[in-house]
Structure 1
Amino acid sequence: MWLKLSTLALLPVLLVQGTRVRKNTPRLIEASGEREGMVGKGRPLSLLILGDSAAAGVGVETQQDALSGAIISELQDQYLISWKLHAKTGDTTKEVFQALQHLESQNYDVVVTSIGVNDVTKLTSANSWIKQQKQLFEYIQARFQPKLIIVSGVPPMQHFPALPNPLAWLFGKYAEQMNQVLYNWVEAQNQFRFIQYDIESFQALNLPMASDGFHPSKEIYAIWGQQVAALVRQSFNS
Structure 2
Amino acid sequence: MQGIYTRRVTPKLPEAEGERQGITGSGDALRLLIVGDSAAAGVGASTQDEALSGQLVRLLAKDYRVCWKLWARSGLDTQALLELLEAHSPEHFDVVLLSIGVNDVTSTLATDQWIARQQRLMSLLRSQYAAKLIVVSPLPPMHLFPALPQPLRWYLGLRASGFNANLADLAGRTEGCTLLTTRLAPVAGSMARDGFHPGPAIYSQWAQDAAVVIDQQRRQTAPLHVAEHTIKIQE
1:190 aligns with 2:171: no
Query: Given that residues 125 and 174 in structure 1 are in contact (C-alpha distance below 8 angstroms), is that contact kept between their aligned partners in structure 2?
Result: no
Query: Given that residues 154 and 197 in structure 1 are in contact (C-alpha distance below 8 angstroms), is that contact kept between their aligned partners in structure 2?
Result: no
1:96 aligns with 2:78: no
Query: How far does residue 221 in structure 1 lie from its aligned partner after superposition?
Result: 0.3
Partner of 1:125: 110
Query: How far does residue 136 in structure 1 lie from its aligned partner after superposition?
Result: 1.0
Query: Given that residues 36 and 84 in structure 1 are in contact (C-alpha distance below 8 angstroms), is that contact kept between their aligned partners in structure 2?
Result: yes
Query: How far does residue 197 in structure 1 lie from its aligned partner after superposition?
Result: 4.3
Query: How far does residue 77 in structure 1 lie from its aligned partner after superposition?
Result: 1.4
> Which of residues 207, 212, 216 is equivalent to 1:230?
212
Partner of 1:20: 5
| Higher helix fraction (1 or 2) | 1
Report the residue type matching 1:148 in the other structure: L
Query: How far does residue 64 in structure 1 lie from its aligned partner after superposition?
Result: 0.6
Describe how 1:120-199 pairs up with structure 2 within 5 A.
120-199=105-184
Query: Given that residues 49 and 86 in structure 1 are in contact (C-alpha distance below 8 angstroms), is that contact kept between their aligned partners in structure 2?
Result: yes
Report the residue type matching 2:208 in the other structure: Q
Describe how 1:71-90 pairs up with structure 2 within 5 A.
71-90=56-75
Query: Given that residues 145 and 153 in structure 2 are in contact (C-alpha distance below 8 angstroms), is that contact kept between their aligned partners in structure 1?
Result: yes
Report the residue type matching 1:223 in the other structure: Q
What secondary structure sits across from 2:207 in the alignment?
Answer: helix
Write the distance in 2 (CA, Å) between the matches of 1:119 and 1:197: 20
1:208 aligns with 2:190: yes
Partner of 1:12: none
Write the distance in 2 (CA, Å) between the matches of 1:52 and 1:83: 17
Query: Given that residues 36 and 85 in structure 1 are in contact (C-alpha distance below 8 angstroms), is that contact kept between their aligned partners in structure 2?
Result: yes
What do the CA deviations read for 1:69-113 (whole angstroms, capped 9, x no partner)? 111111111000000000110000000000012222111000000
Write the distance in 2 (CA, Å) between the matches of 1:237 and 1:18: 45
Partner of 1:10: none
Partner of 1:217: 199
What secondary structure sits across from 2:150 in the alignment?
Answer: coil
Provide TM-score, normalisation by structure 2.
0.90
Report the residue type matching 1:222 in the other structure: S
Paired residue total? 220
Partner of 1:13: none
Write the distance in 2 (CA, Å) between the matches of 1:140 and 1:197: 22
1:61 aligns with 2:36: no
Distance 1:33 1:96, change over 3 A: same
Write the distance in 1 (CA, Å) between the matches of 2:215 and 2:184: 24
Write the distance in 1 (CA, Å) between the matches of 2:132 and 2:189: 33
Report the residue type matching 2:212 in the other structure: A
Report the residue type matching 1:127 in the other structure: D
Write the distance in 1 (CA, Å) between the matches of 2:183 and 2:191: 12
Provide TM-score, normalisation by structure 1.
0.89
> RMSD value over aligned CA atoms?
1.2
Write the distance in 1 (CA, Å) between the matches of 2:184 and 2:212: 19
What secondary structure sits across from 1:56 in the alignment?
Answer: coil
What secondary structure sits across from 2:39 in the alignment?
Answer: helix
Query: Given that residues 156 and 197 in structure 1 are in contact (C-alpha distance below 8 angstroms), is that contact kept between their aligned partners in structure 2?
Result: no
